Structure formats: structure tokens, C-alpha cells
């Protein structure tokens, strides 16, 4: 009898202990989902290894949730006035709750991620590839490439705030000093070019960026809009049908930033309309998506709450906002475009995610390219995914003129240890899938920007890429090769014609 009683007591202790552990685990998960899914999509612990959660991501979240302001010392003093208003005045959770959240991610996260790069043969047939070292002092630090097919010239800018001008054979023509590194040059043909200048290129919140008009005849610049937080993209379009073009500007920022429309007034001044008062606006596509006669805005937001949104123009700078796609905050959204892949008259989305520069630096199996097909009601379904470590930009064009859209993509955070040539990949549309191919010449640089243009006027599209050879996370021997070659440009000349 005593033996039976002891067994029952032991079983009861085990049951109570198990129940207690189960309840504690459930409590930790509940807290994590409640607080880590309040500002953005909840990031599943499986998305990152344990050490990344512990060493970088969770400490950053502690700052943003007001639990630990120690990270403020890492923020430049000039940025702090912009950052502080974005942080909570008091802690969002208690110390005990924060420890429970940490425990949940540490308990559930894997030790490592498996993100192998698919083997892609050096079989690039559509293009003749060539690299160029340019007459520019210093190692490659490209911020922008722009081809002017009207005047047969190519603009390449660098982090040193200089806009360099070359002919189509990459022979130097001129260099134009700027006030800060540019992210975009808009050539309209009828008006003086517009230049978007970032202020500081690296992550920051200082309002030092601007939009300027470049008067080439006098080689002077007129600042149109200033005090922008790291502007990275601009569309110049009449948003309210008053015959004056307005400015849709992505002020990326860092902790803070915004997506804005600057309305052009009768006086020639500009009135700011805030569309999204959050950082990470990367790119917009402006067109009349709902056919009401007014241009709408589709935007990629990439910082924290990563998502693609559609802002439907209701007139008088009022917009109805629809979230089309939403991604976890560690996805590294980096670029998108809007094209009709399946020829059904509905605009689909080409999306690239591979930004690996912030707090979760590790190769990720979910980095790559995706196509989301539109059902006609602005509901988008993923129809294609290709894993590409560090995918940066992706653009679509019919390079082989067979009636369907092919894709060119750069991967700024490629697996440089094993496959540096995969920093550029061409995807031929075969009708039922996309066939990838690479060129070994892509291993000669770290390609950050990509431009499609008919460089030689032979009725097919060529590709020009610019390098930004940051050595971070790159094998030493590869960095040494880059520094020796100083390859600024990778040119793919289409062999179709």
C-alpha cells in the first residue's frame, strides 16, 4: 500500500511539474506574441538562430520597448533628437515579462539556419558580360547609375558626393560635385534633371537630404525641398490634377522617417502631406490602380513593419490605405516592382528581400525573389519563389523578345564565401518557370544598383550595374581582389541584335 502511495505521489509531482512548465511556456509565448506582434508582424523564433536573437535583435527590441536604454550610447548624438520621440516614455513591459519574452525566443529558436545557395551554372547566354574600372579616385562606392539614352551618356555617383558622367563606352566626360551622395537622378528630357541627395548614406535620422534641380547649362543647383531624412526614391507626378507636378518622396530614415507627398503650390512653394509617418519607405509606384482618374501610390515599407501598401487617391491629398502584403520584420525587404507577368491585364508584384545589414546578419533561407499574382481585386498570391541570399534589386523586362518577362537581380548580401558570382543572376522566363544563369565576372564586385536601358540603340535592353565594395562580411581574399581590380561597372550587352 505504501509503495502504491509513493508511486502516486511521484506521478503527481511529475504531473504538477510538467503542468507548471507547460503553463510557464504558454505564458512566455503569450507575452511574446502580444508585445512582439503589436507594431509589426510577429517574427517566429525559427526565423533566426539563438545567438542572433540574444546578441543583436532582442537587445535592440529592449531599447524600442523602453526596457533598456543602454543602446542609446550607440546612436550618434546628432541622431538622438530624432530617435528619442520614437521611443516609449516608459517601459512597455516589466523586467520579469521581458525575461519571459527572452526565454521564449531562446527556447524556441534553432541553433542555426540552413540557407544553402542553389548551384547556378555559368551559362549566361543572353548577354555579353564585361567589367570596367573607371577614371574615379578611390575604390568603388556607387550609389546610383543612370543611363541617358537621348544624349548617349551614363551617370554614376559615389559616396563622396560626386556625380560622374561617362559616354556609353565608359570614357570619362565630366564630374559634378554635389552637397551629398545622390540616390536618384530623374531625366525628363523637357525639364532640368532632378537629383535626390541623401544627406548621409549610412543609417541615420538626420534631416540633411534634399531634392534639387540641376541646371546643366550653368552647372548650378537649385534646392527645391530640403530637410529630408535620407531620401532614397522620388516620383514626380501631378497627384491632384491641377497641372502642376508634385513630389512623392521616400524618406527612408532609420528609427524615424516618412513617406510624403509635397504638393506644388501656386506660389512655387511646397506643402507636405504625410502618407506614412514611419521609417523604411524604399520605393513607390505611382499609377491609377482603381481607374478613378487620380494617381494612386503603391509603396514598399521596409523598416520594422515590412509591407507593401496601396494608397488609393480620394482627392485633395486624402488616401485610403490598403495593406496588400505583410512580412516579418527580419525579412529584409529591399525592392519591388509592378508588372503584368501572366498577361491578364492585372498588375502583379515582383518583390526582393535580402537586406542583411541591420541586427540579424546571417544567411537566411527565406531571402530571395517572389512573384505575387493579382486576382483583379488587389489580392495577391505568391506564385513563384527563388531563394537568393541577400537579394537587393530585381527588375523585369523582355530581354529575349519572346513575349514574356524575364528578370535581372542583384544580391548585395550574397553568399560571398561560396558563391560570389551569385551577386547577379539572370532569370529567363521559360513560360512555366524561370531558368537562372550567372557570369563569373559578377564575382568582381558587390553590386548595389541595376539599370536597364538600350545602351546601343539596337532595340533590345542592356543592363548596367554599379558596385559598392563594402568589405563587411566578405572573405579577405575576395576583398583583396576587389581592391586590386577596382571594378566599378558590370555591363551586360544584350546579344539579341
The greatest distance separating any two alpha carbons of the chain, rounded to the nearest whole angstrom, comes to 104
Contacts of 12 (CB under 8 A, 6+ apart): none
Q: Is the pLDDT of residue 18 over 80?
A: no
Contacts of 91 (CB under 8 A, 6+ apart): 65, 66, 67, 98
pLDDT reported for residue 2: 58
| Residue whose C-alpha is closest to residue 280's, from 259, 265, 296 | 259
Q: If you average pLDDT over residues 212-236, what whole number do you get?
A: 97
Order of strands across the sheet with 391-397?
Answer: 391-397, 406-411, 424-429, 434-437
Q: Can you tell me the distance from the alpha carbon of 329 to that of 360, in angstroms, rounded to the nearest whole number?
A: 10
pLDDT tens track for 106-126: 999 999 999 888 889 889 999
The half-sphere exposure of 42 on its side-chain side, counting CA atoms within 13 A, is 15
pLDDT tens track for 410-442: 999 999 999 999 999 999 999 999 999 999 999
pLDDT reported for residue 17: 52
pLDDT tens track for 349-384: 999 999 998 899 999 999 999 999 999 999 999 999
pLDDT reported for residue 8: 52
Find the helix packing angle between 95-108 and 2-36, rounded to 10°: 100
Q: How confident is the model at residue 27 (pLDDT cuts 50, 70, 90)?
A: very high
Q: Can you tell me the distance from the alpha carbon of 70 to that of 277, in angstroms, rounded to the nearest whole number?
A: 26
For 376, left (φ over 0), alpha (ψ -120 to 50), or beta? Answer: left
Domains contained in the chain, CATH given: 23-108 (no CATH), 178-326 (2.120.10.30)
Q: Can you tell me the distance from the alpha carbon of 308 to that of 282, in angstroms, rounded to the nearest whole number?
A: 10
Q: Which residues of 320-346 are buried (b: 16+ CB within 10 A; e: fewer)?
A: eeeebbebbbbbbbbbbbbeebeeeee
Q: If you average pLDDT over residues 281-303, what whole number do you get?
A: 98
Tell me the average pLDDT of the chain: 95
DSSP string spanning 358-415? Answer: SS--S--TT-EEEEEEE-SSS-EEEEEEEE-TTEEEEEEE-TT-SSS-EEEEEETT--
pLDDT reported for residue 151: 96
Say if residues 292 and 311 touch (Cβ distance below 8 Å).
Answer: no
347: three-class secondary structure by DSSP: coil
Q: How confident is the model at residue 20 (pLDDT cuts 50, 70, 90)?
A: low
Q: Is the pLDDT of residue 7 over 70?
A: no
DSSP string spanning 413-442? Answer: T--TTT-GGGGEEEEEE-SSSEEEE--GGG
Order of strands across the sheet with 182-186?
Answer: 182-186, 194-197, 209-215, 220-228
pLDDT reported for residue 3: 63
Q: If you average pLDDT over residues 260-277, what whole number do you get?
A: 98
pLDDT reported for residue 5: 62
pLDDT reported for residue 226: 98
State the residue for C-alpha cell 523586362.
397
Q: If you average pLDDT over residues 289-317, what whole number do you get?
A: 98
pLDDT reported for residue 11: 52
Amino acid at each position: 500500500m505504501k509503495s502504491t502511495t509513493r508511486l502516486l505521489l511521484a506521478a503527481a509531482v511529475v504531473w504538477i511539474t510538467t503542468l507548471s512548465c507547460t503553463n510557464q511556456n504558454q505564458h512566455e509565448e503569450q507575452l511574446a506574441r502580444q508585445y512582439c506582434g503589436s507594431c509589426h508582424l510577429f517574427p517566429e523564433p525559427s526565423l533566426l538562430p539563438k545567438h542572433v536573437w540574444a546578441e543583436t535583435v532582442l537587445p535592440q527590441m529592449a531599447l524600442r520597448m523602453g526596457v533598456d536604454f543602454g543602446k542609446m550610447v550607440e546612436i550618434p548624438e546628432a541622431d538622438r533628437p530624432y530617435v528619442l520621440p520614437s521611443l516609449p516614455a516608459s517601459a512597455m513591459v516589466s523586467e520579469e515579462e521581458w525575461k519571459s519574452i527572452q526565454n521564449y525566443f531562446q527556447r524556441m529558436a534553432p541553433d542555426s539556419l540552413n540557407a544553402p545557395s542553389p548551384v547556378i551554372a555559368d551559362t549566361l547566354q543572353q548577354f555579353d558580360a564585361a567589367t570596367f574600372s573607371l577614371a574615379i579616385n578611390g575604390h568603388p562606392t556607387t550609389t546610383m547609375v543612370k543611363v541617358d539614352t537621348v544624349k548617349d551618356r551614363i551617370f554614376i555617383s559615389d559616396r563622396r558626393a560626386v556625380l560622374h558622367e561617362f559616354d556609353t563606352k565608359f570614357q570619362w566626360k565630366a564630374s559634378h560635385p554635389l552637397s551629398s551622395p545622390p540616390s536618384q537622378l530623374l531625366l525628363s528630357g523637357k525639364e532640368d534633371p532632378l537629383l535626390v541627395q541623401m544627406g548621409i548614406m549610412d543609417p541615420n535620422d538626420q534631416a540633411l537630404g534634399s531634392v534639387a534641380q540641376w541646371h546643366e547649362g550653368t552647372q548650378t543647383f537649385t534646392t527645391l525641398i530640403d530637410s529630408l531624412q535620407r531620401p532614397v526614391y522620388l516620383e514626380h507626378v501631378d497627384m491632384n490634377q491641377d497641372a502642376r507636378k508634385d513630389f512623392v518622396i521616400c524618406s527612408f530614415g532609420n528609427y524615424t522617417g516618412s513617406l510624403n507627398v509635397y504638393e506644388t503650390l501656386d506660389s512655387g512653394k511646397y506643402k507636405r502631406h504625410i502618407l506614412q509617418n514611419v521609417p523604411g519607405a524604399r520605393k513607390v509606384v505611382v499609377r491609377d490602380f482603381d481607374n478613378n482618374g487620380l494617381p494612386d501610390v503603391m509603396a514598399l515599407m521596409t523598416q520594422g513593419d515590412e509591407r507593401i501598401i496601396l494608397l488609393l487617391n480620394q482627392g485633395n491629398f486624402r488616401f485610403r490605405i490598403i495593406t496588400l502584403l505583410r512580412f516579418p520584420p527580419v525579412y529584409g525587404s529591399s525592392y519591388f516592382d509592378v508588372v503584368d507577368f501572366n498577361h491578364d491585364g492585372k498588375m502583379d508584384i515582383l518583390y526582393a528581400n535580402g537586406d542583411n545589414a541591420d541586427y540579424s546578419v546571417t544567411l537566411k533561407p527565406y531571402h530571395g525573389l517572389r512573384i505575387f499574382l493579382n486576382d483583379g481585386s488587389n489580392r495577391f498570391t505568391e506564385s513563384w519563389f527563388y531563394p537568393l541570399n541577400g537579394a537587393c534589386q530585381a527588375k523585369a523586362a523582355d530581354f529575349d523578345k519572346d513575349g514574356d518577362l524575364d528578370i535581372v537581380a542583384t544580391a548585395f548580401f550574397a553568399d560571398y564565401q561560396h558563391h560570389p558570382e551569385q551577386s547577379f543572376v539572370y532569370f529567363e522566363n521559360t513560360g512555366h518557370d524561370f531558368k537562372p544563369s550567372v557570369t563569373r565576372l559578377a564575382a568582381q564586385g558587390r553590386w548595389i544598383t541595376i539599370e536597364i536601358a538600350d545602351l546601343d540603340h539596337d532595340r533590345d535592353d542592356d543592363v548596367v550595374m554599379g558596385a559598392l565594395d563594402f568589405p563587411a562580411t566578405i572573405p579577405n581574399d575576395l576583398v583583396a581582389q576587389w581592391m586590386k581590380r577596382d571594378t566599378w561597372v558590370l555591363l551586360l550587352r544584350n546579344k539579341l541584335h
